[in-house]
Amino acid sequence: MIYQGKQKIWSDYQKEIPDDHWFYVRSCIRQSFFPASETHFVKIVRDLLGKDLYETPHHTTCGGIAYHSDTIPQETAMTIVARQFALMTEAGYKNLVTSCITSFGNYCEILETWREFPELEARIREHLWKACRREFEKPEYVAHASDVIFKLRGEIAERAKYHLVSRATGEPLRVVEHIGCHYSKMFPHKGVGGAEYPCVLSGMVESWGGQVIDYPERRHCCGFGFRQYLVKANRGYSVSNTHKKFESMEPYHPDMIITNCPGCPYFLDRWQYVIAEQTGKTYGQNGCGIPALTYEELAGLVLGYDPWDLGLQIHQVGPEPLLDKIGIPYDPNRKYLGLNEKEIMKPGLPTVLKCC
């Protein structure tokens, strides 16, 4: 194929991401899974890079988690989303940025549904007015927060204090990137690189010096799958999914995993403990696991934020071997100190998985 043809086809897989002026909506579950990630997204984008990022304390869950768990109908989720749009309109913004992949999928699905069925949008507007006397305009752009970091990856690389390179060998770190299913599998044109070649995370990794691993189950689900996990009787499906991914990536000896979804880092992190307890097998070096980080945590590490301020102590898999490999300094005595320098509770240690 001629070069121009390739360029034209690739241009179909690109996504327009606004440069500035975003209305940011947080995730309902990420703050309990990895509490510092969203805070550091705001610190990096607004405070460090000086962009206009606005968030309001009045926003709520988007209802996506309940919708995908079959506990609320889509009309209810639509009305919740309509209220978020109303908050955005009242604040004077037109670019919506979501922290959560499922929220991103939920917003995209609702906007597409309204485009196909305008009468449904009119009904939701009526529901919203009756419920809270609010009106809204639809966003001009909907982006996921990882799209924003992807767009700003060059600026972050310019300010980087550390690169994803082994301090001992000078070789790039081997990174597994895992993209949440609701990012571009539902609406391929809404994601950078589409459903076939999503490069939102691989772009960050390569910009910051790492090497992305391509392994057979790269696009397989992390195992969350909502009801596969939320119903306890189904959790065998969830952990089996994750196990399949780890078995597939193991021969490539990854140094770390980077994700852009609330559920993925949680399950790729926590299930390593369960798999180790059930099978006696660990996937990292010397009995440790493979650290699974969010893209905000990785950006924070690259920019030189303190690992414990980034909340890496909340992960099941200890991040110390990765920090040592990159050469990031850390104080082990501060690992379990809270923001007020008082000690938070220390977790019990697993019997198989080695946690530093």
Q: Which residues contact 216 (CB under 8 A, 6 or more apart)?
A: 248
Nearest to 13 by CA among 201, 192, 199: 192
Neighbours of 327 (CB within 10 A): 12
Q: Which residues pair with 294 in a beta bridge?
A: 259
Name the minimum Å distance from CB 217 to other proteins: 9
Name the minimum Å distance from CB 349 to other proteins: 13
Q: Which residues pair with 178 in a beta bridge?
A: 259
Name the minimum Å distance from CB 242 to other proteins: 9
Q: Quick one: CA torsion of 345, 332, 170, 245, rounded to 10 degrees?
A: -20
Nearer to other proteins, 36 or 239 (CB): 239
Name the minimum Å distance from CB 278 to other proteins: 6
Question: What is the residue type of 67?
Answer: Y
Nearer to other proteins, 11 or 351 (CB): 351
In the chain the first and final C-alpha atoms are separated, in Å, by 51
Name the minimum Å distance from CB 240 to other proteins: 4
Name the minimum Å distance from CB 127 to other proteins: 39
Rounded-to-integer distance, Cα 47 and Cα 18, Å: 18
Nearer to other proteins, 247 or 306 (CB): 247
SS3 label, residue 166: coil
Give the interface with other proteins as residue ranges (CB under 8 A).
Answer: 232-237, 239-240, 243-244, 247, 274-275, 277-279, 351
Place of tokens 């890079």: 49
Q: Which residues contact 42 (CB under 8 A, 6 or more apart)?
A: 24, 53, 55
Name the minimum Å distance from CB 114 to other proteins: 39
Nearer to other proteins, 183 or 229 (CB): 229
Name the minimum Å distance from CB 33 to other proteins: 19
Nearer to other proteins, 250 or 324 (CB): 250
Nearer to other proteins, 99 or 238 (CB): 238
User: What is the 8-class DSSP label of residue 172?
Assistant: B
Nearer to other proteins, 154 or 280 (CB): 280
180, 108 contact by CB (below 8 A) = no
Output the 3-class SS for 197-256. CCCHHHHHHHHCCCEECCCCCCCCCCCCCCHHHHCHHHHHHHHHHHHHHHHHHHHHCCCE
What is the 3-state composition of the chain as percent helix, strand, coil, each rounded to the nearest 5? Answer: 50, 10, 40
Nearer to other proteins, 71 or 234 (CB): 234
